[in-house]
Amino acid sequence: MARFYVGNDHAGLGLKAAVVQHLVAAQHEVIDLGTNTSASCDYPEFAKQVASRVAAGDGLGILLCGTGQGMAMSANRVPGVRAAVCADTFSARATREHNDANVLCMGERVVGAGLALAIVDAFASAQFEGGRHARRVALFDPPR
Ligand code: RB5
């Protein structure tokens, strides 16, 4: 079982409820970093909160907004975070296996709850394959 940091804006609130319930039922640890109201809010604030916790290295992240796109763009500004927008299970599995993705982003206006939960399962159960993929992931960041 894994630890998941979950964040969302107002447009991802409904999907967040379904995702959290699903993760808890599967015995995962869930840390819900909000928002927990339907009031309009700014998604980068929640993306950064989740991303900073994931970058600390003790869990995966899930970010939900209208499209998933703004969440991914924001989260990927945090060093060590590899956030991927997924709207299908193949990509969710492959981005863990090949890209070592550590944050899953989805859009409530894009995927229905049934598909979203299948995407969560694909992401949660996949493992990074390392090897040649590790070499490529290491090339994401410039040498220091
Ligand atoms: C909110 O209207 C919407 O812009 C936001 O949820 C997200 O889709 C941005 O990427």
CA atoms within 13 A on the CB side of 98: 7
Is 98 an annotated catalytic residue?
yes
The answer to whether residue 37 is domain-embedded is: yes
Ligand 1: nearest atom to the Cα of 107 = 8
Does residue 143 form part of some domain? no
- The answer to the question of residue 15 being in a domain is yes
CA nearest neighbour of 62 among 75, 73, 77: 75
Residue 144 falls inside a structural domain:
no
pLDDT, tens only, 72-123:
999 999 999 999 999 999 999 999 999 999 999 999 999 999 999 999 999 9
The protein residue with its alpha carbon nearest to ligand 1, atom 4, reads: 66
Task: State the total domains in the chain.
Answer: 1
Tell me: the pLDDT tens digits for 42-61? 999 999 999 999 999 989 99
Burial of 60 (0-12, 13-18, 19+ CB in 10 A): buried
Give CA 121 to chain center in angstroms.
12
CATH of the domain at 134: 3.40.1400.10
32 domain residue, yes or no: yes
> What is the domain range of residue 7?
3-138
Ligand 1 center from residue 15 Cα (angstroms): 13
